[in-house]
Amino acid sequence: MVCRIAELQYKEVIDVSDGARYGFVQDVEVDPVKGSVEAIVVRGRPRLLGLLGREPDAVFPWSCVRRFGEDVILVDGRRRRQEAP
């Protein structure tokens, strides 16, 4: 299966350990020197309909990605990072 970066935004990120649904891929981190994808980023959920801002973004290093499916990405969520929105 070939997947383009533009198609990642339609894939939902799900944790393999507890089945938590994080949301859809918002962005990717790329290392231009190595030419590799370093992490996928899922945007934080809005708090109180967005009036109180957002939760921190969830960043999953590439080593956390376990499997790509047609419409989901399975990750090991225990090693994710949180970044301020």
Query: Which amino acid, 10?
Result: Y
Q: Which of 10, 44, 8, 13 lies closest to 29 in space, CA to CA?
A: 8
> In this predicted structure, what is the pLDDT of residue 85?
56
Phi-psi domain of 35 (left: phi exceeds 0; alpha: psi -120 through 50; beta: other):
left
Going residue by residue through the chain (85 aa), what tens digit of pLDDT does each one get?
777 878 888 999 999 989 999 999 999 999 999 999 899 999 888 788 767 888 888 999 999 999 988 899 999 988 777 665 5
Sequence-ordered list of residues with C-beta below 8 angstroms from that of 48, at least 6 positions apart, any chain: none
Q: Give the chain's domains with CATH numbers.
A: 5-83 (2.30.30.240)
> In this predicted structure, what is the pLDDT of residue 78?
82
Structure tokens at 81: 């990072």
Q: Is residue 79 classed as helix, strand or coil in its secondary structure?
A: helix
Q: Which of 20, 27, 13, 26 lies closest to 67 in space, CA to CA?
A: 13
